[in-house]
Structures are given as C-alpha cells and as structure tokens.
C-alpha cells in the first residue's frame, strides 16, 4: 500500500518529462522547417540572407527583404512578376536580372558586371 503513491508520483514525473520533450521536439522541428520554406520561394542562392541582414536569418530585412515582405508575403509567399521587375536595392538592375547573374538584389554594391 505504501508503494502505490510513490509509483504514481514517478509516473506523473515521467509523464511531465515526456510532454516537455514532445513540446521541445515540435518547436525545434517547426523552426528548422521554416527556413527551407521561404528560401525555396526565391530564385537566389543566398539562403536566409536573401532577405535578412543576419546571414542566418531573423531580425531586420535588407532592401530586397523589405520588398519581399511587402509584395510576396501578401501574395501567398510567391515570388511575383512585380517583385522580379523591381530594383529593390536601386543599383539599376531588376531583381530578375540580379538572381541569374548571381548578384544580391538587396545590396547596391552587388550588381551584374559588364553591362
């Protein structure tokens, strides 16, 4: 009769620990899967830095990222013709010209050469 409450307490502790592990796993998976979702929506190969100042993403956006936020997110996370036709960083080249050239559409110092 004395073992029953102790067993019950340990079971409850294990249950709480399992629940905490499950929540932690779900949060980790959600964060990890968020990155490929957005980086797969733009044609460039700059990863999270396509839109964010920080190379690993999060926080303030660069000039292209601000246009992405304004145009692509309301359009259902789509790289639209309107976004491609913009020159987000004001360097004289549209975003559609910069991505194929391998230059960054969010920084005016990065622009196609030879034109």
Binding segment (CB under 5 A) for Ca ion, from list 26-34, 52-60, 65-73, 91-99: 91-99
Site residue total, Ca ion (CB under 5 A): 4
Among 91, 99, 104, 106, binds Ca ion (CB under 5 A): 91
Options 38, 63, 67, 89; binder of Ca ion; rule CB under 5 A: 89
Nearer to Ca ion, 67 or 89 (CB): 89
Judged by CB under 5 A, which of 46, 68, 79, 93 binds Ca ion?
93
Which pairs from 61-66 meet CB under 8 Å and 24+ separation?
A: 62/89, 62/104, 62/106, 62/107, 63/88, 63/89, 63/90, 63/105, 63/106, 63/107, 64/88, 64/89, 64/95, 64/104, 64/105, 64/106, 65/106
Sites of contact with Ca ion (CB under 5 A): 87, 89, 91, 93
């Amino acid at each position: 009769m004395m073992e029953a409450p102790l067993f019950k307490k340990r079971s409850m502790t294990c249950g709480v620990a399992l629940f905490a592990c499950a929540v932690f796993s779900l949060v980790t998976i959600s964060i990890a899967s968020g990155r490929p979702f957005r980086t797969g929506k733009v044609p460039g190969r700059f990863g999270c830095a396509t839109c964010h100042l920080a190379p690993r993403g999060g926080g303030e956006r660069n000039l292209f990222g601000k246009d992405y936020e304004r145009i692509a997110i309301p359009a259902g996370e789509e790289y639209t013709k309107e976004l491609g036709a913009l020159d987000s960083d004001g360097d004289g080249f549209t975003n559609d010209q910069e991505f194929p050239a391998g230059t960054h559409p969010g920084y005016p110092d990065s622009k196609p050469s030879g034109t």
